[in-house]
Amino acid sequence: MEVNIKDVVVPGDVAAEIMKSSEKERVILGPGLRRDCDRVLVTKAGVLKRRKPAIFYVDSYQKRVDIGAGELASLSYLAFEGATKKNRPDIVVGDVIFAKLLVASKGMEPELICVDSHGKKGKLGVLSPDGMLFDCSLSLARKLLHPSCQLLTLLAKEQAYEIAIGMNGKIWMKARSVHETIAACNAILAAENTPPTEMPALCSSIARNLLRIS
């Protein structure tokens, strides 16, 4: 999609107005823009702006997010479904965000978005504060997300829950009560060293413990 100055832009938009300016004067590309052959592409969500004489950049309303890496990632207020300059999502410090990396290249600041390629949020976005966030190893995160892993299906037969698993080794979970949430988290952490054949017994053990507690 072609965009002009003062337009709300998202990654992948083509800044046609900048290319027209470059034909007349020397253009400087600032944050949020990069040249791709004969085009100028937008690399972050925000508002396309120009500062005289010919400096172009994307003004992005964003926060820094801890993704468990060596540096923080930026999350724009416009990286949510339906967000505009006037209609920002209600996000505060301490919120847990389920997002995906848009930019993760050497020499560039990591950038997150909470929409898919069609601009829809799907399961992404701000997670409930009633859930529990905990860390696990990267190998366990990959194990849980693998189609052959039966743990989450077996656990669902014992109790209802919601879960979001990040490839950064962070897991958010919410069950019907605090006791059930903690029990489910313990089951997941214990699964790292549990053989697949022993998964049913692990889930059943968690369910029996819950009955004793209640």
* Structural domain ending residue among the three candidates 126, 141, 172: 126
Q: Are 153 and 191 in contact (CB under 8 A)?
A: no
166-188 per-position pLDDT tens digit: 988 999 999 988 888 888 888 88
* CATH number for the domain that contains residue 38: 2.40.50.100
Q: Report the mean per-residue pLDDT for the chain.
A: 82
Do 44 and 88 lie in one domain? The reply is no
65-100 per-position pLDDT tens digit: 877 777 778 888 778 888 776 777 777 778 898 998
Decide which of 77 and 140 is more confident.
140
Do 24 and 72 lie in one domain? The reply is no
Token pair recorded at residue 130: 């009633």
- Count of domains in the chain? 3
Containing structural domain, residue 166: 132-213
Do 194 and 155 lie in one domain? The reply is yes
Q: Are 80 and 89 in contact (CB under 8 A)?
A: yes
